Structure 1
Amino acid sequence: MPHPRRSVTLHDVAADAGVSLATASRVLGGSSRPVAPEYRDRVLAAAARLRYAADASARAMRTGSDALALVADDLTTPSIAIVVAAMERQARTRGAFVTVSATHCDPQRQLETIRQLRALRPRALVLTSGRIDADALSGRLLAELLAYQQSGGRVVIVGDTDLPFHSISFDNHRAAREIGRHIARTGHRRVAILAGEPEQAAISARTAGFIEGLGAETEVRVVHCEVSRQGGFKAAQGLVTDDLDAIMAANDLMAVGALSALRTAGVAVPADLSLTGFDDIGLAVNVTPRLTTVALPLAYAGMEAIRLALQDPGAVTHVKVEGQLMIRDSTRATA
């Protein structure tokens, strides 16, 4: 049985050409340092003779790569999928590509992931999270990102942050306040809010905005649940016997789950009860009735993150984008 062929190394090329390892590395690694034509010809001839192929991953470790590393909380949500798809499209137009890692909102996992990615020297790190704080893990996360930046990398954050890096954030509170005002203006006075999990900063900001927009005259019940379609379904199941005239969900997935639970229980939307979501994912217009919701510019945020990641160094830029109220069929004015 034939033995597998041993990979030819840079050491082999240098020995065959009769030059130092450093000289062979300069010729084959694309160094800007000059090499005498005689030595360059000898190295190239030896490389061709030995069929040497440069190790791209090792070169990336030394010089960096065209990869942009995205570190996201949860890759299973439709809103993140929109952001990532926009990032990939924008990166391709610039000759770069995007790698993706999920950290499930865990700061320790964020730190470990960033440390592992730093070893591969991506051109930029893009973090998407509801909130990233400077004091997370006693400042270790910030220290890791600063070290990466000082070594030549670029950091961009999609989400709320007080870190000294480029950022694109969503004005969740303001947009939620607007949809809350709409529900109050249309006569709803007994409202339940599907508020997701309280540790998620973006969801919490939306809940606070809902409450402010609804005003003091509205009786509000806040229900925490899993931020998913199933979480919305279970939460709404527990509300069908309550005397409500509206349910407001902190994202569209929970709203779609709630819609299913209400339909199963024989509660008509919006004839018996109005329902709203947040994000304006594809499902929002593909359910019946179509969801009243807030449209966030998710694709724009993804494209802007890549633009900031690849632009020439300059002053740190903080971009805050606003949502747009989309009034559709799942809400109506009360009698």
Structure 2
Amino acid sequence: MPHAARPTVTLHDVAAAAGVSVATASRVLGGSARKVAPEYEARVLAAAAALRYTVDASARAMRRASDSIALIADDLTTPSMGVVVAAMEREARTAGAFVTVSSTMAAPERQSETVRVLRSLRPRALVLTSSRYLGDDERLFRELSAYEREGGRVVIVGHTDMPFDQIGFDNVAAARSMGSFIGESGHRRVAIFAGVEGMRNMTERTAGFIAGLRGAGVEERAIRVVHCQVSRQGGFDAARELAHAGLAGTQAVLAVNDTIAIGALSGFREAGVSVPDDVSVTGIDDIPLTRDVTPRLTTVALPLAQSGVEAIRFALGGTGVPRRLTLESRLVIRDSTGPRR
């Protein structure tokens, strides 16, 4: 025989049983910052336990913003984004908040629509990170501005001229340091695995590679730009195609990120090309896998985890004035590069 449904216990019932006002009971059970006398708090908690009262979480969420920080990213499956998300979650946890994530694949209409939907859920802050330039999308700007007017905080990890907090990397300088190193190591014919066209960070890194190489004496006609998918498979296919063409005198491959570079290592290995004896290979990001592949990958370390930590700190510590933070990169030389005469 089915049991009769348990009568719904309201906050008024708890307050009456404890002999306090509804406002006092609400402060105790709702986690208010306003203090309640210890004796009243004990009476409210005892009454709530005796009546088996549970807080209506959905009603609380409608009354105030939640403790969530919403991350909107291009692609959550990339190794670099995994580092950022893990760092954000650790930092948020120390502040009693948590991180939710959404993926947009850098599609402008999906970015603005995701912000619109999240506004109705009232997260404490929005962190938006993207490989494309954020600044010429009027709809996205309107959605983010409306969210801030409603009391939220917006932090952008990436490139923007919109008036929100921004955390970024100097992609040109990072790539220039690698181009200079390769040129100064004696490499005189270089291929750049540049990813797909139209991605702001990839374009900047390609420009930085070229600037560094040219500054180290590499002739412009000896630099070849190869576009490929921004994935391990993209690097693998580009390397295999280059190897099947006999390398065409190429002495070094500079990839715009580590994932492409790791794919290139596999492509060269399958084609019988030795790294670094036949060709040097480099990346950018310094994802954890760069230290485990063979040979270990020479790269430029970007402080990905720090960007996640700073994003949470910006989100939780808004000043009302947009802040700008540019994080520094560091050249990391490992086994995938060698000198050339």
Residue 2 of structure 1: how far off its partner (Å):
2.6
Deviation per CA, 1:243-284, whole angstroms, max 9, x where unpaired? 111111111111111001101111111111111111011111
Q: Distance in 2 between matches of 1:7 and 1:152?
A: 37
What is the TM-score when the length of structure 2 is the normalising length?
0.85
Name the Cα RMSD after superposition: 2.9
Deviation per CA, 1:280-311, whole angstroms, max 9, x where unpaired? 11111111111111000111111111111111
| CA gap 1:32/1:251 in 2 versus in 1, 3 angstroms | closer
SS at match of 2:147: helix
Tell me which residue corresponds to 2:311.
305
The residue correspondences of 1:1-335 to structure 2 (distance < 5 A) are 2=2, 5=5, 8=8, 28=26, 30=30, 51-136=52-137, 139-215=138-214, 217-218=219-220, 219-240=222-243, 241=245, 242-243=247-248, 244-335=250-341
SS at match of 1:161: coil
Residue 230 of structure 1: how far off its partner (Å):
1.0
Report if aligned partners of 1:172, 1:322 keep a CA contact under 8 Å in 2. no
Q: Distance in 2 between matches of 1:270 and 1:325?
A: 17
Deviation per CA, 1:198-245, whole angstroms, max 9, x where unpaired? 122111111111112111614121111111111110111110023111
| CA gap 1:107/1:91 in 2 versus in 1, 3 angstroms | same
Query: Which structure 2 segments of 5+ residues have no match?
Result: 35-43
Tell me which residue corresponds to 2:38.
none
| CA gap 1:135/1:61 in 2 versus in 1, 3 angstroms | farther
Identity of aligned residues (%): 58
SS at match of 1:160: coil
Residue 62 of structure 1: how far off its partner (Å):
2.0
Q: Distance in 1 between matches of 2:24 and 2:236?
A: 62
Q: Distance in 2 between matches of 1:276 and 1:116?
A: 40
What is the TM-score when the length of structure 1 is the normalising length?
0.87
Report if aligned partners of 1:28, 1:54 keep a CA contact under 8 Å in 2. no
Q: Distance in 2 between matches of 1:332 and 1:17?
A: 75
| CA gap 1:286/1:270 in 2 versus in 1, 3 angstroms | same
| CA gap 1:9/1:217 in 2 versus in 1, 3 angstroms | farther
SS at match of 1:319: strand
Tell me which residue corresponds to 1:39.
none
SS at match of 2:159: strand
Q: Distance in 1 between matches of 2:188 and 2:268?
A: 19
Report if aligned partners of 2:9, 2:51 keep a CA contact under 8 Å in 1. no
Deviation per CA, 1:23-56, whole angstroms, max 9, x where unpaired? 96895475899xxxxxxxxx99997787543321
One-letter amino acid matched to 1:273: V
Q: Distance in 2 between matches of 1:91 and 1:304?
A: 11
Report if aligned partners of 1:195, 1:207 keep a CA contact under 8 Å in 2. yes
| CA gap 1:119/1:7 in 2 versus in 1, 3 angstroms | farther
Query: Which structure 1 segments of 5+ residues have no match?
Result: 34-42
Q: Distance in 2 between matches of 1:91 and 1:17?
A: 34
| CA gap 1:206/1:6 in 2 versus in 1, 3 angstroms | farther
SS at match of 2:337: coil
Q: Distance in 1 between matches of 2:70 and 2:206?
A: 31
